[in-house]
Amino acid sequence: MKISDILNRDAILPDLCSETKADVIQELAGAIAPLAHTDPASIGQVLLERESLGSTGIGGGIAIPHGKLPSVKEVCVGFGRSSKGVEYDALDNLPVHIFFLLLTPEDSTGGHLKVLAQISKLLKMDMFKDRLKTAQSAREIFDIIAEQDEEF
């Protein structure tokens, strides 16, 4: 599964304004809500509930907030970037700059795990992360992700 096949350009936020974990989650939820056909508040609530189980800040400046909702009919992926970085309770206690948001249908397990694995695999490449951090636009971010997808 290619991330670029399920990432909508309208859900790419190259300049997150939020400065806290909860606010980043709400900002990302607002961007993906129209694509998920769900209200941002419901998305935010599910993501924050997931965060209460343990941070989705995986270290290296990356977080992958994710959740399942009954109203979501297909896998939805969003992206956000914070130039300043956000304190996110990441595993390495460093600020997070790159956010991939993942929403899946409530009854999805295999698809959910495949997408998480693919995102994680992409983000292990330092050059890929560096390119995402310096991209100038949502279009460029999408193109970087699509180009990297082709190599897998």
Please identify every residue annotated as catalytic: 66
Is residue 1 within 8 Å of residue 114, measured between CB atoms?
yes
The two three-digit tokens of residue 139, written as one number: 């279009």
Question: DSSP label at 90?
Answer: -
Beta bridge partners of 118: none
> Which ranges of the chain would DSSP assign to H, the alpha helix?
3-6, 21-36, 40-53, 110-122, 126-134, 138-150
Report the run of H or E that residue 11 belongs to, with start and end.
strand 7-13
Taking the CA of residue 82 as centre, how many other CA atoms within 13 Å lie in the half-sphere pointing to its CB? 24
